[in-house]
């Protein structure tokens, strides 16, 4: 890895040096490709000729080939729809299996007509195709709307209207206000004076704030004469990353080079705001735009239930094959007896006689397969999908998920994972915005070791109010200079924008009100209306700080053409030239600005987490402030430290050069920038610290308690500092007062004064002993007995230590550490991981996900930094919070508030799981007892593949007679009603670990199916020992036999479901009794007419005749009752499960405990 | 905007429908209906020992009498069965069964004497039974053409392919085609009562009323509509290979000839199991006589046409009375008695359980 970095650095150097000589560049490419092979980090660059004007460089102008600006999100065209869609559909293993069965039926002489399996398959395929076709048509429509949208292109000095899809890379495109950009553009010219334009990316990432983008510096105003090339990286999906370089050729001069960054790039899909018009050159078009690259599907998550289904399918496939094998073998054994194979009354056709014996065996095997193939029903897939799709509506419909504040309910992005919500074992939650409201409020600050707490603006003359500082310094203040420096720092060191609502047009105000709402511009400020300001920033902390400064008399007025204006306490406007912004990033955990005051001083202001600031300031200042910071942190506030530094002219020149150079770099720009930042942000002096309160979400504690009661382990993964996070955990009752905390952080590692690795090892072993070995053996899984007086452990780990655990130097150690670490974590009731980078969050999730037993994980978060963990976990939940919509977009489910998680898991998840588990088991069961009699019948019909049931029954069984009741059940069942589920979180544990779809229950259902099948077949078999069943002495034939078995089957299977139904709504009644009635009606109808299209009138009046026989009635009643008898007994002997009795039990337990 | 307004998920023929409308539900409060909030009024039955207990007793109390009734009824049905296959040397039909040939012009007859030790009241039904005869073999079951049998003139001359290899003979279509028809049971059985005074009285056997009414009147129809001359109607067809006479000569009675011959119809209803019986004749109770078949000596005269020894089959003649539940079959009665008793027993067990453990439940209920 290290070597690679070196090389890439050299590589970048080369590329930088060769930027003038194009010829060398090729060499460089060659070198790179040759030398580095397929290193993925390597991105080739592309060269764009602005306005297609050849650059004056010596080599000939070859217009490069790029894709056009057509957006194709559709998958099909009219021509390829059928073949492509069919291909896609039959790639699914189940569909393919049914296709094979169908083909076998067509080719081989099989007992059932191809219609029996062809019809359902055709139905499924057609419905899917129609649905996908419709969706694709919608996509076509949407694509066309975008592709045919007229845009203005500057060509040879003229403005030409073109369709959007005809834009080519290098075209200069003009976009007007409120239009969306047709492709990714480099901003060349803006109608605004300050060479900026404003953009919203609401449709891209949901952030509705206005972002400022800059024109390429020093480009000519006259675009016609602009002669330039742009060299930039190949398209990549990261919306916030872009590196490029622009070469501007002026007459016979050395080409000027400008660096291009994301601030110069206007993304397709974003909308131009507050700017009349802009011109830009297209760099990425069509499917290569960042937006298009971002919509290429995310990986699909599969639920555990689906894995169980597949496992069961395999079992049934084995049953199927073995049945067919048994029958084939027995058939040939049986036929070997003389006179059996071909008695005089039943001769074979000539063709059959001629067929090769082995071929015949094979076709016989296939025939048996076809005869028994109903054991794996195509309809199960349809029903499961329907259940998931329709079932997910209940989440969106739930009014408890509706949040009046944002006027939105829950959102379901995928319906595949409904049941997974009932299986969650680990919840990984973000802290900020998830556990807390992310509604920041400036609480207090500490300047130079003195504490300032804002109480009431009017109580003291200058707006300051000093309260409980350190006792000795009570009522003392820092020097006024320090105060003002601190407040200036707060006013300057940020990326906040001001929305002057009075200056903008009325329409703007409308659009902004919702943003203003959330920003806490409340009565507290009690300022005149015209001075009300909306601040817009990517992080609410910054707004809180700026507002805080405002309370103390320093108002940030805004940024105008690189000048920041501040209204100070004396109501004077101070101006600062903004020289550089050293952006915030989660790794550095700080941001800085370099400004020049009117007096000519160059100042660097830096704010950031204490851990990242303290090492960079003079140590003597630290102690005074550290105390405050730590106290604030334990109180649950978010703390930031503010530092500053005077830059001398030389220092500034150095920093400026470094920054510019790094910004120009095409390769590894990030790393280089980081290096320069680190270099600049040193030797600062600490001015003070701020404390911002982030209030807990509503019912956060109750939700966490419920989750823990449900046996779910809650891990808090946050980027925040440990003390803050810890106090939040206490506030959320994740840690109780009696919880023993095991800390594994940098601080504890450095305690011993020894090497960190050794200490880590020692601590891990110690904690392991404590939490794992000494703890009484916990019963399998998550069953933590809730009455026991066990010591609860809480575990705290920070990012640095975590990376030590995970990436320990020697591999053997690493895996051992990881195991120890995991075991400790799994035995703790709550785990807090602080100081986490986004990727580390995902790493943790992955580690737990892949640990022993593959527990189901759920990640919940609201910000862009949670996306990685949301994508990584089995179930990702986004909170429709304030930090944009990335989390929501990438989540599987989105809810407005954390408190909704409780109902989502405990009620919806639980019910969905029970429903689908029952659905799956029931489906296998009902097809087993459907096919088993058919299998047994082979022993009585000379293994001739004679079907027991009529073809209509074979086809309709799964489609009509038994499908609706189970579908209704799987949508409506509430074996325990929702209120009880919510009240007793422990109920969630009953279904933990896929309890209803493990081999035990599967075996139970299979045995039940076998029992029923045997009963049906042999019950009727003994009845038919004398087929004279009517009171007129007439006899019944084979179709009557099948019909009786089938009638018993349909009734038993439906009534079995009725027995399992604990929640009888009118729909259940309607569907259960309706489908039984339908069966009877259909049988009369089907047997009542001589059907002209049928070759054989097998069932003609069979059903009616059956009903005229008392014996048939008696046997049907007997068999149904006998089949259900064990079931009823089991229900009685099992623990009472009804909602009422559950309560009773609960009360009893309580009673015993008291 | 491109595809962002709905879920452009890659599905591969999956019927997954991405959850309901991404973002379309924006700022719309979910409706507060019982269905959508999963609060439909519902009946929530709870099965406990207490609730099931009476059911078990009731089932027991109903099933046991029914079972006894069935058992007694079945036992009261008189049934006499005689195997006339002629496997044993001693059997009167031994010769016939040995020297069997399809082409023999002279029918082989044999008569079997038997003794009924109890008188048969009311109607007596005469069945023939075959064993090890796979009428339910798939190749056999499908070897018929129901349109031909329904009188369809086109199917008459062009029998279905399913009838192969019994569809054509000498390039003429076979009517009725197929293996089932071809192998129609063609032994004729006659019953004589040996009067104690030595005379042999032939017992009148009724040929009609043995097939399902719907079969006889709807499903099976002679070709040529109402044309009384069946010979003409069947012109151009040939008789099944193994038949001795064409289909239109099955009976002299116009209403029982051709496809609507009841013996034929009965045969065409394929049996469920390889051992089966089919209704052959009905001996109706004479008005003036109390007994249909008095106790005494009888002779069964068989025209032995039907070979079964080649596949080790057996042939039987069965005389049976019929009750409301059909023929003699003790299975149902025994099953009902057993299930009834089991239910009753379980009821008792449950009662004990209920008494022992149920009380505590009740007290908890009260404390609640």
A988 with A1065, same domain: the answer is yes
Q: How far apart are CA A888 and CA A406, in angstroms?
A: 14
pLDDT at res. A304: 79
Q: How far apart are CA A17 and CA A257, in angstroms?
A: 12
Confirm whether B40 is domain-assigned: no
User: Measuring CA to CA, which residue among A639, A687, A686 is closest to residue A487?
Assistant: A687
pLDDT at res. B185: 93
pLDDT at res. A1122: 93
Lowest mean per-residue pLDDT among A399-413, A802-816, A1064-1078, B93-107: A802-816
Q: Which residues of A touch B49 (CB under 8 A)?
A: 1132
Average pLDDT for A319-330: 94
Of residues A423 and A28, more confidence is placed in A423
Residue A504 has pLDDT above 60, yes or no: no
Q: Across-strand partners of B206?
A: B282
A883 with A914, same domain: the answer is no
Residue B204 has pLDDT above 70, yes or no: yes
Confirm whether B10 is domain-assigned: no
pLDDT at res. A1104: 94
Confirm whether B9 is domain-assigned: no
pLDDT at res. A162: 85
pLDDT at res. A208: 55
With a cut of 0.90, is the ipTM above it?
yes
Lowest mean per-residue pLDDT among A1090-1094, B80-84, B131-135: A1090-1094
Q: Which of A867, A895, A923 is the last residue of a domain?
A: A895
pLDDT tens digits, A109-118: 777 778 877 8
pLDDT at res. A1070: 96
* CB contact (8 A) between residue A1095 and residue B212: no
B304 with B353, same domain: the answer is no
CB within 8 A of A706, min separation 6: which ones? A902, A906, A982, A985
Contact B177/A at CB under 8 A: no
- In terms of average pLDDT, the best of A57-71, A265-279, A528-542 is A265-279
pTM above 0.80, yes or no: no
* CB contact (8 A) between residue B8 and residue A944: no
* CB contact (8 A) between residue B327 and residue A415: no
Pairing type for strands B276-283 and B124-131 reads: antiparallel
Confirm whether B154 is domain-assigned: yes
Q: Which residues of A touch B11 (CB under 8 A)?
A: 88, 132
Confirm whether A639 is domain-assigned: yes
* CB contact (8 A) between residue B219 and residue A946: no
Q: In what order do the strands lie in the sheet with A196-201?
A: A207-214, A196-201, A271-273
Residue A41 has pLDDT above 90, yes or no: no
Contact B282, B105 (CB under 8 A): no
pLDDT at res. A273: 78
B234 with B316, same domain: the answer is yes
What is the C-alpha end-to-end distance of chain A, expressed in Å? 62
CB within 8 A of B286, min separation 6: which ones? B292
pLDDT at res. A320: 93
Average pLDDT for B84-93: 88
A649 with A724, same domain: the answer is no
Q: What domain range is B68 assigned to?
A: 50-77+332-368
How many other C-beta atoms lie within 10 A of the C-beta of residue B209? 17
Local structure of residue A256 (DSSP, 8 states): E
pLDDT at res. B10: 35
Average pLDDT for B48-62: 85
Local structure of residue A789 (DSSP, 8 states): -
B283 with B365, same domain: the answer is no
- Residue A97 CA neighbour count, 13 Å, CB half: 16
pLDDT at res. A925: 94
B202 with B102, same domain: the answer is yes
pLDDT at res. A538: 63
A943 with A1020, same domain: the answer is yes
Contact B66, B340 (CB under 8 A): yes
B205 with B279, same domain: the answer is yes
pLDDT tens digits, B303-343: 998 999 888 899 999 999 999 989 999 999 999 999 999 99
Contact B345/A at CB under 8 A: no
Helix (H, G, I), strand (E, B) or coil at B287: coil
B277 with B345, same domain: the answer is no
**CATH number for position A857:** 3.40.50.1000
Of residues B139 and A552, more confidence is placed in B139
Looking at the structure of chain A, the number of domains it has is 3
A701 with A647, same domain: the answer is no
What is the sign, positive or negative, of the torsion defined by CA atoms of A913, A914, A916, A920? positive
Average pLDDT for A479-492: 83
B256 with B308, same domain: the answer is yes
Number of inter-chain CB pairs under 8 A, A vs B: 372
Average pLDDT for A361-367: 91
pLDDT at res. A462: 40
Contact A330, A945 (CB under 8 A): no
Average pLDDT for A675-699: 85
A688 with A701, same domain: the answer is no
pLDDT at res. B285: 87
Contact A367, A352 (CB under 8 A): no
User: Chain A window 212-241: which residues touch B at a Cβ cutoff of 8 Å?
Assistant: none
CB within 8 A of B181, min separation 6: which ones? B144, B166, B174, B240, B264, B267, B268
A844 with A934, same domain: the answer is no
B239 with B348, same domain: the answer is no
Looking at the structure of chain B, the number of domains it has is 2
Mutate to test the interface with B, among A72, A73, A140, A346 (most CBs of B within 10 A): A346
pLDDT at res. B21: 38
B231 with B311, same domain: the answer is yes
Q: Which of A668, A693, A718 is the last residue of a domain?
A: A693
Q: How far apart are CA A911 and CA B359, in angstroms?
A: 32
Residue B41 has pLDDT above 80, yes or no: yes
Q: What domain range is A1018 assigned to?
A: 377-390+907-1136
Q: Which of A847, A875, A895 is the last residue of a domain?
A: A895
Confirm whether A98 is domain-assigned: no
Q: How far apart are CA A720 and CA A633, in angstroms?
A: 10
Contact B190/A at CB under 8 A: no
* CB contact (8 A) between residue B277 and residue A1028: yes
Q: In chain A, what percentage of residues exceed pLDDT 70? A: 82
Q: Which residues of B touch A875 (CB under 8 A)?
A: none
Confirm whether A1055 is domain-assigned: yes
pLDDT at res. B133: 93
Average pLDDT for B10-34: 50
A644 with A716, same domain: the answer is no
Contact B85/A at CB under 8 A: no
Pairing type for strands B79-83 and B276-283 reads: unpaired
**CATH number for position A541:** 3.40.1110.10
Residue A969 has pLDDT above 90, yes or no: yes
pLDDT tens digits, A599-647: 888 888 898 888 788 888 888 778 878 888 888 877 767 788 888 888 8
Buried-state track A519-554, b at ≥16 Cβ within 10 A, e below 16: bbbeeeeeeeeeeebbbbbbbbbbbbbbbbbbbbbb
Residue A397 has pLDDT above 80, yes or no: yes
B356 with B242, same domain: the answer is no
* CB contact (8 A) between residue A941 and residue B274: yes
Whether A607 has a binding-site annotation, put simply, is: yes
pLDDT at res. A1099: 92
Lowest mean per-residue pLDDT among A60-64, A767-771, A1104-1108, B77-81: A60-64
User: Chain A window 151-180: which residues touch B at a Cβ cutoff of 8 Å?
Assistant: 180
Confirm whether A57 is domain-assigned: no
Helix (H, G, I), strand (E, B) or coil at A393: helix
CB-CB: which of A1032, A1034, A1132 is closest to B47? A1132
Q: In chain A, what percentage of residues exceed pLDDT 90? A: 21
Surface-to-core class of residue A850, CB atoms within 10 Å of its CB (0-12 exposed, 13-18 middle, 19+ buried) = exposed
Confirm whether A213 is domain-assigned: no
A642 with A679, same domain: the answer is yes
Q: How far apart are CA A447 and CA A478, in angstroms?
A: 6
Residue A919 has pLDDT above 60, yes or no: yes
Lowest mean per-residue pLDDT among A43-47, A822-826, A919-923, A1058-1062: A43-47
Confirm whether B304 is domain-assigned: yes
At A56, the pLDDT band (50, 70, 90 cuts) reads low
Question: What long-range pairs does B191-199 form, CB within 8 A, spacing at least 24?
Answer: B191/B126, B191/B283, B191/B298, B191/B299, B191/B300, B191/B301, B192/B298, B192/B299, B192/B300, B192/B301, B193/B293, B193/B294, B193/B296, B193/B297, B193/B298, B194/B113, B194/B296, B194/B297, B194/B298, B194/B299, B195/B296, B196/B296
Confirm whether B35 is domain-assigned: no
Mutate to test the interface with B, among A1035, A1063, A1138 (most CBs of B within 10 A): A1035
Contact A396/B at CB under 8 A: yes
Residue B22 has pLDDT above 50, yes or no: no
A628 with A589, same domain: the answer is yes
Of residues B146 and A127, more confidence is placed in B146
pLDDT at res. A14: 35
Contact A892, A299 (CB under 8 A): no
Q: Which of A171, A205, A416, A430 is catalytic?
A: A430
At A1013, the pLDDT band (50, 70, 90 cuts) reads very high
Average pLDDT for B133-147: 92
CB-CB: which of B27, B49, B311 is closest to A408? B27
Beta-strand runs (E) in A456-553: 497-499, 534-536
Confirm whether A609 is domain-assigned: yes
Contact A1017, B114 (CB under 8 A): no
How many other C-beta atoms lie within 10 A of the C-beta of residue A880? 21
Whether A541 has a binding-site annotation, put simply, is: no
Q: Which residues of A touch B25 (CB under 8 A)?
A: 396, 408-409, 411
A719 with A861, same domain: the answer is yes
B121 with B224, same domain: the answer is yes
Contact A1142, A1136 (CB under 8 A): yes
Mean pLDDT of chain A: 79
Residue A664 has pLDDT above 80, yes or no: no
Whether A811 has a binding-site annotation, put simply, is: no
Contact B348/A at CB under 8 A: no
Confirm whether A1041 is domain-assigned: yes
Average pLDDT for A212-239: 76
Confirm whether B43 is domain-assigned: no
Q: Which residues of A touch B78 (CB under 8 A)?
A: none
CA angle A135, A139, A144 (to 5 degrees): 150
Average pLDDT for B174-199: 91
pLDDT tens digits, A718-771: 877 777 788 788 888 888 777 888 888 877 777 666 677 777 888 888 888 877
Lowest mean per-residue pLDDT among A127-131, B89-93, B236-240: A127-131
A269 CA: distance to closest CA in chain B (Å): 7
User: Chain A window 409-438: which residues touch B at a Cβ cutoff of 8 Å?
Assistant: 409, 411-416
DSSP alpha helix (H) spans, A577-712: 610-613, 619-634, 649-664, 669-680, 700-709
Q: In what order do the strands lie in the sheet with A436-447?
A: A450-453, A436-447, A685-696, A637-647, A602-608, A590-597, A573-585, A563-567, A555-560
pLDDT tens digits, B149-170: 998 888 898 998 888 889 998 8
User: Is A514 marked active-site?
Assistant: no
Q: How far apart are CA A372 and CA A548, in angstroms?
A: 75
pLDDT tens digits, B108-118: 899 999 999 99
Residue A861 has pLDDT above 90, yes or no: no
A805 with A682, same domain: the answer is no
Confirm whether B15 is domain-assigned: no
pLDDT at res. A455: 56
Contact A630/B at CB under 8 A: no
B269 with B148, same domain: the answer is yes
What is the sign, positive or negative, of the torsion defined by CA atoms of A635, A637, A641, A642? negative
């Amino acid at each position: 890895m290290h070597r690679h970095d070196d090389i890439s650095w050299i590589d970048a150097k080369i590329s930088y040096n060769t930027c003038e000589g194009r010829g060398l560049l090729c060499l460089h490419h060659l070198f790179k490709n040759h030398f580095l092979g397929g290193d993925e980090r390597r991105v080739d660059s592309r060269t764009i000729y602005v306005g297609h004007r050849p650059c004056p460089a010596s080599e000939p102008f070859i217009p490069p080939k790029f894709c056009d600006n057509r957006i194709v999100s559709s998958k099909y065209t009219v021509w390829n729809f059928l073949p492509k869609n069919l291909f896609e559909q039959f790639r699914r293993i189940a569909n393919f299996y049914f296709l094979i069965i169908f083909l076998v039926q067509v080719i081989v002489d099989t007992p059932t007509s191809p219609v029996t399996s062809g019809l359902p398959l055709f139905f499924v395929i057609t419905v899917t195709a129609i649905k996908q076709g419709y969706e694709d048509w919608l996509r076509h429509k949407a694509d066309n709307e975008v592709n045919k949208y007229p845009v203005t292109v500057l060509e040879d000095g003229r403005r030409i209207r073109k369709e959007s899809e005809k834009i080519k890379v290098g075209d200069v495109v003009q976009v007007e206000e409120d239009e969306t950009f047709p492709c990714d553009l480099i901003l060349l010219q803006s109608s605004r004076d300050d060479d900026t334009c404003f953009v919203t990316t609401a449709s891209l990432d949901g952030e509705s704030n206005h972002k400022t983008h800059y024109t390429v510096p020093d480009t000519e105003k006259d675009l016609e004469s602009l002669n330039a090339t742009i060299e930039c990286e190949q398209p990549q999906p990261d919306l916030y990353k872009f590196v490029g370089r622009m070469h501007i050729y002026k007459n016979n001069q050395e080409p000027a080079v400008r660096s291009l960054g994301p601030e110069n790039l206007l993304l397709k899909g974003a909308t131009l705001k507050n700017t009349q018009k802009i011109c830009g050159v297209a760099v990425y078009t069509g499917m290569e735009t960042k937006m298009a690259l971002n919509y290429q599907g995310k990986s699909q998550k599969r639920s555990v239930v689906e894995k169980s289904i597949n496992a069961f399918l395999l079992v049934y496939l084995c049953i199927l094959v073995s049945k067919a094998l048994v029958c084939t073998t027995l058939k040939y054994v049986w036929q070997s007896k003389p006179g059996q194979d071909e008695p005089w009354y039943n001769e074979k056709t000539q063709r059959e006689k001629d067929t090769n014996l082995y071929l015949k065996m094979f076709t016989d095997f296939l025939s048996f397969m076809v005869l028994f193939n109903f054991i794996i029903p195509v309809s199960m897939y349809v029903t499961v999908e329907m259940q998931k799709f329709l079932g997910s509506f209940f989440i969106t419909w739930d009014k408890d998920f509706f949040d009046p504040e944002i006027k939105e309910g829950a959102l379901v992005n995928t319906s595949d994972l409904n049941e997974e919500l009932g299986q969650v074992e680990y919840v990984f939650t973000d802290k900020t915005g998830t556990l807390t409201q992310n509604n920041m409020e400036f609480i207090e600050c500490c300047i130079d070791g003195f504490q300032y707490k804002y109480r009431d603006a009017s109580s003291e003359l200058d707006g300051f109010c000093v309260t409980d500082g350190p006792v000795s310094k009570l009522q003392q203040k820092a020097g006024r200079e320090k105060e003002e420096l601190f407040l200036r720092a707060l006013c300057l060191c940020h990326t906040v924008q001001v929305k002057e609502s009075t200056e903008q047009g009325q329409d703007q105000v409308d659009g902004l009100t919702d943003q203003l709402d959330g920003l806490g511009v409340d009565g507290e400020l009690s300022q005149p209306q015209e001075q009300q300001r909306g601040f817009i920033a990517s992080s609410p902390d910054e707004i809180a700080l700026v507002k805080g400064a405002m309370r103390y008399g320093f108002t940030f007025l805004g940024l105008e053409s690189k000048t920041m204006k501040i209204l100070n306490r004396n109501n004077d406007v101070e101006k600062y030239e903004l020289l550089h912004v050293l952006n915030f990033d989660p790794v550095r955990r700080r941001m800085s600005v370099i400004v020049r005051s009117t007096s000519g001083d160059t100042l660097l202001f830096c704010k950031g987490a204490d851990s990242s600031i303290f090492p960079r300031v003079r140590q003597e200042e630290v102690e005074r402030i550290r105390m405050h910071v730590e106290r604030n942190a334990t109180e649950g506030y978010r703390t930031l430290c503010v530092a500053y530094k005077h830059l001398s002219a030389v220092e500034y020149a150095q920093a400026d050069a470094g920054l510019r150079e790094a910004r120009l770099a095409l390769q590894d720009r990030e790393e280089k920038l980081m290096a320069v930042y680190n270099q600049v942000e040193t030797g600062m002096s600490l001015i003070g610290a701020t404390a911002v309160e982030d209030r807990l979400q509503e019912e956060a504690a109750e939700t966490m308690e419920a989750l823990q009661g449900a046996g779910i382990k809650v891990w808090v993964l946050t980027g925040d500092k440990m003390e803050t996070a810890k106090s939040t955990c206490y506030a959320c009752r994740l840690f109780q007062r009696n919880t023993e905390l095991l800390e594994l952080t940098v601080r504890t590692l450095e305690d011993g004064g020894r090497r960190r690795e050794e200490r880590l090892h020692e601590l891990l072993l110690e904690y392991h002993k404590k939490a794992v070995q000494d703890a009484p053996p916990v019963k399998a899984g998550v069953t933590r007995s809730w009455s026991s007086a066990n010591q609860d452990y809480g575990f705290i780990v920070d990012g640095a230590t975590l990376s030590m655990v995970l990436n320990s130097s020697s591999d053997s150690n690493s895996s051992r550490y990881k195991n120890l670490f995991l075991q400790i974590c799994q035995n703790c009731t709550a785990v807090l991981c602080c100081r986490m980078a986004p990727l580390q969050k995902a790493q943790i999730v992955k580690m737990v996900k892949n640990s022993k037993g593959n527990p189901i994980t759920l990640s919940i978060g609201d910000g862009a930094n949670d996306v990685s963990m949301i994508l990584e976990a089995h179930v990702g939940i986004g909170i429709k919070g304030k930090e944009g919509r990335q989390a929501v977009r990438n989540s599987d489910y989105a809810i407005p508030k954390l408190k909704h998680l409780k109902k989502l898991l405990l009620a919806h998840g639980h019910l969905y799981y029970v429903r689908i588990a029952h659905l799956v088991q029931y489906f296998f069961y009902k097809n087993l007892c459907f096919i088993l009699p058919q299998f047994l019948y082979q022993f009585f019909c000379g293994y001739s593949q004679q079907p027991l049931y009529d073809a209509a029954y074979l086809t309709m069984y799964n489609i009509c007679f038994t499908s609706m009741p189970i579908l209704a059940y799987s949508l409506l069942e509430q074996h325990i009603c929702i209120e009880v589920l919510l009240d007793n979180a422990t109920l969630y544990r009953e279904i933990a670990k896929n309890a209803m779809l493990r081999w035990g229950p599967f075996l139970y259902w299979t045995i039940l199916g076998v029992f029923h099948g045997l009963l049906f077949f042999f019950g009727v078999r003994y009845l038919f020992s004398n087929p004279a069943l009517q009171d007129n002495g007439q006899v019944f034939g084979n179709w009557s036999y099948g019909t009786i078995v089938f009638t018993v089957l349909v009734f038993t299977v439906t009534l079995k479901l009725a027995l399992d139904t604990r929640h009888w709504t009118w729909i259940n009644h309607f569907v259960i009794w309706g489908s039984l009635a339908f069966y009877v009606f259909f049988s009369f109808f089907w047997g009542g007419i001589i059907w002209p299209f049928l070759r054989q009138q097998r069932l003609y009046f069979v059903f009616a005749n059956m009903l005229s026989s008392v014996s048939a009635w008696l046997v049907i009643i007997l068999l149904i009752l006998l089949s259900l008898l064990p079931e009823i007994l089991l229900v009685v002997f099992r623990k009472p499960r009804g909602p009422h009795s559950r309560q009773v039990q609960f009360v009893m337990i309580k009673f015993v405990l008291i | 905007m491109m595809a962002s307004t709905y879920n452009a998920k890659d599905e591969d023929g999956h019927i997954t429908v991405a959850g309901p409308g991404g973002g379309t539900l924006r700022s719309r409060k979910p409706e507060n209906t019982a269905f959508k909030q999963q609060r439909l009024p519902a009946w929530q039955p709870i099965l406990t020992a207490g609730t099931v207990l009476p059911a078990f007793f009731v089932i027991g109390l109903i099933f046991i009498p029914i079972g006894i009734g069935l058992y007694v009824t079945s036992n009261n049905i008189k049934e006499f069965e005689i195997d006339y296959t002629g496997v044993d040397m001693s059997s009167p039909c031994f010769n016939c069964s040995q020297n069997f040939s399809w082409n023999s012009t002279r029918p082989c007859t044999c008569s079997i004497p038997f003794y009924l030790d109890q008188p048969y009241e009311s109607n007596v039904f005469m069945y023939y039974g075959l064993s090890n005869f796979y009428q339910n073999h798939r190749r056999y079951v499908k070897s018929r053409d129901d349109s031909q049998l329904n009188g369809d003139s086109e199917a008459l001359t062009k029998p279905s392919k399913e009838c192969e290899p019994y569809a054509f003979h000498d390039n003429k279509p076979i009517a009725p085609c197929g293996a089932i028809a071809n192998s129609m049971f063609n032994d004729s059985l006659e019953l004589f009562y040996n009067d104690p005074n030595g005379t042999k009285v032939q017992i009148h056997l009724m040929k009609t009323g043995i097939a399902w009414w719907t079969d006889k009147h709807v499903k099976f129809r002679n070709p040529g509509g109402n044309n009384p001359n069946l010979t003409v109607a069947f012109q151009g067809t040939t008789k099944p290979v193994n038949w001795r006479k064409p289909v239109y000569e099955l009976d002299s009675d116009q209403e029982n000839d051709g496809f609507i011959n009841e013996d034929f119809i009965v045969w065409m209803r394929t049996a469920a199991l390889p051992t089966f019986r089919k209704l052959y004749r009905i001996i109706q109770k004479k008005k003036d006589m109390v007994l249909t078949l008095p106790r005494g000596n009888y002779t069964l005269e068989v025209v032995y046409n039907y070979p079964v020894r080649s596949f080790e089959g057996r042939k039987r003649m069965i005389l049976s009375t019929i009750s409301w539940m059909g023929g003699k079959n003790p299975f149902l009665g025994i099953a009902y008695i057993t299930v009834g008793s089991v239910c009753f027993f379980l009821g008792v067990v449950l009662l004990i359980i209920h008494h022992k453990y149920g009380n505590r439940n009740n007290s908890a209920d009260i404390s609640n």
